[in-house]
Structure 1
């Protein structure tokens, strides 16, 4: 048994999770390991990340090999896209099921999305602790459900704990308002957490000061532990160059696309306006890279639609980027676009990597944004006046001048300015403070060993990805309401990739979509009267007449009330069962998918007849099933 101090670290986002929080947690675990601690990380299995925003397996190579990682099989049911895993109740009434699911979660812990994990998480962390007791527990939100085991082990075993909030539970940092009342379940629970915590960490001074106002008796134990730049992957050693005065430029955004579709559109429209006013920009490009959308919406979000609409103006979306490949992506760009939601409480992590490059940075965020604190002394920063298209256009024009005028020495100066923000340097004071308190015998901190030599040859080169295709696939998409433009574009992508696409739905919806698919199969409402061909007369009181009357009475007095009680989703499945072409298409499909909630029950039932085909909820999950999005 090791005699070294033991840190139990609860880190929801940990490699290979493709989430923005993962880099802080990776560096935190590594820092304690290098300081002489034995570190046990409790996180989730890879399947959980695949279900959410995807994975970046290049991050696994950056985890210190001395760290023990315990992965729990917890996952978000609310973003499950495999319809075969749905209960019949969920398939029949998705929105009702989701509302009830969140209510049940809150009954376990005051957090709607993750609260249902509380009991299993606490029990699992108890087992990890009992197997090897720890000297200190560090837990990081979001989700704040990961704070529950900290309080539990403190009350059960007296284990001291540190809360790494990163952002803030008590503050809605995007809307700049309280997230809950002090006397609410969340407020009362947080008060207990804060009262027993050894200390709490926050990513910027604004959040730290706000928490000091809420909990003044503990203010001395609140610390700013900033995010930082991950220079180990080479962002600080990409080759510097100065573009010629007439040379086309490439502006780029790299990061999770978490800002709104409206802001996305303002950026693209601002780019279009700026291009019209500048000859160089007219020949230049704007590239977006990073993860876009969660669960069923991944790769098919409203932001993706906005970007696609401006393709003729040199705007493109190139998909996610592995962390190991980010330096190579930055190397191909002339200026970086910092697009951020929120205001004074939102710093973001990407601003630190951006400044480490020495490239010009153009902001698109609110004037009093927390990121401005990091950028205020950066010599190649272009600050936007606002987030309207005209403001963004002006910033693009100004940034173009900065790119063209900045010398190589200017860029190197900017890079040197950013050295103070290296991620491990940000963490070191906190690690040393806790080591001194809980492991005073450890007087040597191992130097950070993952900073490669500063040579341009060490920059990781982004590898090419084979072009995806869906040739030979028979994709059946069911829908009951008009699809969004994002869905239409994604359906077109399926066909362009070689898939045979069939749409099943009501005629009123499919009429204008006939050119979108290879085949369209229309359904009548389950309660619609039986149609009789005008060319065929039906004589009253004949057997045929009686059959038509009986079926219409049944639809009105039996099926009508049934659909009203059970839901329209059940009605569309009844409609599909009456349609031989629809049933044949569902049985022959190699991929089944619902494009809206009311079509989910139809696909749920079809998946029980066609046991070979994957059954997915949402066009994003369908694209992913066929390898048309990168995870």
Structure 2
């Protein structure tokens, strides 16, 4: 009987981690056994997660081999330094829930960018290499995959490839030095060069780079990667097999996930502020529902436009509850970060929005990767500078029916794309060995 290939997956985010970072590899791992692979997950024993969602354990395949080792992260020191309580979560993506960042926070950001390279998980690299070298000598695998961020995962995989000559796939869920907040890290010239040197090493030494969208793929190729393969994020049909959900009577504009200052749709808030003053019927029906962390800049914009009375802010929901919120919304709001890399941003939530079959109001570049998908009859795209949303909000939302079929973005179909890449790499490696 032919032996099933084994693949070692290095990922920081794994249940009970919640949020966006966990979904991609949790769903790949869910489907890999049905497609002929035995995945082995290497992750942290005690991670500092932005949120936790124990409901995600339902997607972990029965009998999956999971290796967990302890990690030391400097977040307790960071929290103490800036006066944050130990039990509070560290916000990702530079979301500030306070009016002003303190001098201590500015210093902490400098320390983060200049001392913790590539990221705060750097202290897990050497212990992981030591542990996995011993493990792999007795339990070899056919392939190693690292998923970043955090990009420390790639540095672990790079050393395993170097020492054991195992084929290696580096998965970039987000950019490294092209990430939108890279400019906010207050990097010295030395630190900037080190980030870029480490990034280039990963891109040129890995056997294959995969990423989530075509623009990011081109950027990674410009930085040294060869023939980057795009495997987008997606949705899991199993998550959408739910009891019928009644769509809101109100004009509910729902945003799922973090809304940082670069994702603040100021022109939409201005439009809604004017509309509620001029249109009593619209005002009686409007609800703005923001589910997830919200930057103070967004809340100040809503207050400035007189929209506080219409705001329903929900700090966090489990993923199963998020799906229900998507399906009952009148409108799903998708905002791309208004940053230099906006063209290439393909947020994971977009594919679940599509599966929810509700109208999507997208704000972002009309020539961007996200807009090209939304334009396939999933909703309407408005540029950052657009100010008039009348045509969108004057529609009869009860009559709208989007006819596009998002099945190409279903997680099992995407996992099959991954399997094709894995098969090719393993075959090429065997051929090279003779």
Would the aligned equivalents of 1:362 and 1:381 in 2 still touch at CA under 8 Å?
A: yes
SS state at 1:283 partner: helix
TM-score normalised according to structure 2 size: 0.80
Counterpart pick for 1:142 among 149, 153, 170: 149
Cα–Cα, structure 1 residues 208 and 273, in superposed 2: closer, same or farther, change >3 Å?
Answer: same
1:273 corresponds to which residue? 274
Superposed displacement of residue 55, structure 1: 0.5
Partner residue in 2 for 1:400? 393
Q: Distance in 1 between the 2:242 and 2:233 partners?
A: 16
Counterpart of 2:166 in 1: which secondary structure? coil
Consecutive unaligned residues of structure 1, counting only runs of 5 or more, are 86-92, 294-299, 441-631
The reply to whether residue 433 of structure 1 matches residue 421 of structure 2 is: yes
Compute the displacement of 1:148 (Å).
1.0
Shift of 1:160: 1.4
Q: Structure 2 vs 1, CA of residues 239 and 105 (structure 1 numbering), >3 Å: closer, same or farther?
A: closer
Question: In 1, Cα distance between the equivalents of 2:111 and 2:327?
Answer: 48
Shift of 1:205: 0.9
Contact 2:144/2:168, CA 8 A, preserved across alignment: yes
DSSP 3-state at the match of 1:362: strand
2:160 equivalent among 119, 136, 153: 153
Correspondence for 2:432 = none
> Is the 1:11–1:139 contact (alpha carbons within 8 Å) kept by the matching residues of 2?
yes
1:34 aligned residue: 34
Q: Among 324, 328, 333, which residue is 1:328 paired with?
A: 324
SS in 2 for 1:168: coil
**Match of residue 79 from structure 2:** 81
Note closer, same or farther for the CA distance 1:425–1:403 as it changes in structure 2 (3 Å cut). farther
Matches within 5 A, 1:147-546: 147-173=154-180, 184-215=193-224, 219-220=226-227, 222-234=228-240, 239=245, 248-260=250-262, 263=264, 266-292=267-293, 301-304=296-299, 306-307=301-302, 310=306, 312-341=308-337, 342=339, 343-378=342-377, 380-387=378-385, 391-392=386-387, 394-395=388-389, 397-404=390-397, 406-407=399-400, 410-411=401-402, 413-414=403-404, 417-435=405-423, 437-438=425-426
Instruction: Report SS of the residue matched to 1:171.
Output: coil
Distance 1:181 1:116 in 2: 20
Q: Alignment length, in residue pairs?
A: 399
What stretches of structure 2 of length at least 5 have no aligned partner? 87-103, 429-434
| Cα deviation, residue 227, structure 1 | 0.7
Matching residue of 1:18: 18
Quote the offset at 1:235 in angstroms: 7.0
Report the alpha carbon displacement of residue 229 of structure 1 after superposing the two structures with TM. Answer: 1.8
For 2:203, what is the secondary structure of its paired residue? helix
CA distance in 2 between counterparts of 1:224 and 1:94 reads 37
1:105 corresponds to 2:105: no
Q: For 1:228 and 1:420, locate their aligned partners in 2 and report how far apart those are by CA, in whole Å.
A: 9
For residues 126-141 of structure 1, what are the structure 2 equivalents within 5 Å? 126-141=133-148
| RMSD after superposition | 3.5
**CA distance 1:311–1:272, shift in 2 (3 Å):** closer
Deviation, structure 1 residue 25: 1.2
- 1:402 counterpart SS class: coil
Q: Shift in Å at residue 273 of structure 1? A: 1.8
Bigger radius of gyration among the two: 1
> Does the CA-based 8 Å contact 2:119-2:152 persist in structure 1?
no
**Deviation by residue 1:336-393 (Cα, 9 ceiling, x = unmatched):** 1112214112111111111112211111223333211211212x51221335xxx35x
Q: Encode CA deviations 1:296-336: one digit per residue, 9 max, x unaligned.
A: xxxx8444555567554412202211111122212331111
- In the other structure, the counterpart of 1:5 is 5
